[in-house]
């Protein structure tokens, strides 16, 4: 079976600024991986290139076996994306929004799929409310429904729980865990929430100034840095501290 994502030398330059610098990684089918990095590390730019929204300055991306430079639409039909920073049309009701996306993705039996998602994501009571009038938690659930409308084999999530209260954030994480186990879809998750990444991700790419500076499972990374958790590893990398046992002078990045 082809991998969910194969990125080779993926690069994005904005003038002099190298936002993403020769990223290479392979996300297997069915895996949940995290993309971690400080502000400006290149996470959103990477996701935009994986979606084909930005043209890479160099490098190649294959999504579910499709070359994004030549065969983007075949890949887009089989993947989806969610970000709290991308607003849904705010005057349309939740149901109308989901119908538009179901239509765009040519979803068979669209009304049945929308009803299924509304039940799963607790949207039934808000289906006829304008999307612009929802709370952050409700918007997140609608955005997830939109992202799942075409039963994607690959889901790209940019900060899926940003601005949610701890209870709603936990609900979304549990839901994603269950959904991933049931559907087997691959997930690439960009997040600033280290506990979230520890809980959901089997493997983490640590990004700094557009480059992968380390990677591994959350527990491997913690062990490598002699730390208890990913938050401490993140701070070590951000502040150029050494891995456990590394001689002085060999900074991580």
Distance in Å, CB of 237 to ligand ATP, minimum: 13
Cβ neighbours of residue 82 under 8 Å, at least 6 residues apart? Answer: 143, 144, 146, 147, 155, 156, 157, 158, 160
Of the candidate spans 33-41, 104-112, 147-155, 232-240, the one that interacts with ligand ATP by CB under 6 A turns out to be: 33-41
**Binds ligand ATP by CB under 6 A, chosen from 4, 7, 23, 41:** 41
Q: What is the C-alpha separation between 65 and 57, in angstroms, rounded? A: 21
Q: Is 45 in the site for ligand ATP (CB under 6 A)?
A: yes
Nearer to ligand ATP, 40 or 202 (CB): 40
Distance in Å, CB of 44 to ligand ATP, minimum: 3
The neighbouring-strand residues paired with 61 are 7
Look at residue 59 and give its three-state secondary structure. strand
Distance in Å, CB of 214 to ligand ATP, minimum: 16
Q: What is the DSSP string of 164-221?
A: --HHHHHHHHHHHHHHHHHH--EEEEE-S-HHHHHHH-SEEEEEETTEEEEEE-HHHH
Of the candidate spans 26-34, 39-47, 140-148, 244-252, the one that interacts with ligand ATP by CB under 6 A turns out to be: 39-47
Tokens found for residue 169: 């954030």
Q: Is 193 in the site for ligand ATP (CB under 6 A)?
A: no
* Category of 216 on φ-ψ map: left (φ > 0), alpha (ψ -120 to 50) or beta: left
Of the candidate spans 11-19, 57-65, 98-106, 197-205, the one that interacts with ligand ATP by CB under 6 A turns out to be: 11-19
Look at residue 154 and give its three-state secondary structure. strand
3-state secondary structure 74-133: HHHCCEEEECCCCCCCCCCEHHHHHHHHHHHCCCCCHHHHHHHHHHHCCCHHHCCCEHHH
Q: Is 40 in the site for ligand ATP (CB under 6 A)?
A: yes
The neighbouring-strand residues paired with 173 are none
Residues 124-183 interacting with ligand ATP (rule: CB under 6 A): none
How many Cβ atoms are within 10 Å of 192's Cβ, its own excluded? Answer: 15
Q: Is 19 in the site for ligand ATP (CB under 6 A)?
A: yes
Distance in Å, CB of 171 to ligand ATP, minimum: 23
Q: Is 219 in the site for ligand ATP (CB under 6 A)?
A: no
**Binds ligand ATP by CB under 6 A, chosen from 4, 6, 37, 64:** 37
Q: Is 53 in the site for ligand ATP (CB under 6 A)?
A: no
Q: Is 44 in the site for ligand ATP (CB under 6 A)?
A: yes
Q: Is 82 in the site for ligand ATP (CB under 6 A)?
A: no
Of the candidate spans 12-20, 93-101, 111-119, 130-138, the one that interacts with ligand ATP by CB under 6 A turns out to be: 12-20
Contacts with ligand ATP: how many residues (CB under 6 A)?
11
By CB under 6 A, name the binding residues for ligand ATP.
14, 17, 19, 37, 39-45
């Amino acid at each position: 079976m082809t991998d969910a994502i194969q990125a080779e030398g993926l690069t994005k330059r904005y003038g002099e600024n190298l936002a993403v610098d020769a990223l290479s990684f392979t996300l297997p089918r069915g895996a949940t991986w995290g993309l971690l990095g400080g502000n400006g590390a290149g996470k959103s730019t990477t996701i935009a290139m994986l979606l084909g929204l930005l043209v890479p300055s160099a490098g190649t991306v294959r999504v579910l076996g499709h070359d994004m430079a030549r065969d983007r639409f075949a890949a887009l039909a089989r993947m989806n994306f969610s970000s709290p920073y991308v607003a849904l049309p705010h005057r349309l009701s939740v149901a109308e929004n989901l119908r538009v996306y179901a239509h765009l993705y040519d979803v068979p039996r669209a009304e049945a799929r929308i009803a299924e998602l509304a039940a799963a994501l607790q949207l039934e009571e808000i289906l006829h409310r304008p999307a612009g009038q929802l709370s952050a938690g409700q918007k997140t659930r609608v955005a997830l429904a939109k992202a799942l409308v075409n039963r994607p084999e690959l889901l790209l999530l940019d900060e899926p729980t940003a601005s949610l209260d701890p209870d709603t954030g936990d609900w979304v994480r549990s839901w994603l865990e269950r959904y991933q186990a049931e559907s087997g879809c691959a997930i690439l998750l960009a997040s600033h929430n280290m506990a979230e990444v520890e809980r959901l991700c089997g493997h983490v790419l640590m990004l700094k100034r557009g480059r992968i500076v380390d990677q591994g499972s959350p527990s491997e990374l913690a062990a490598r840095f002699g730390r208890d958790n990913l938050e401490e590893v993140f701070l070590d990398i951000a502040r150029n501290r050494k891995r456990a046992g590394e001689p002085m002078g060999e900074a991580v990045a």
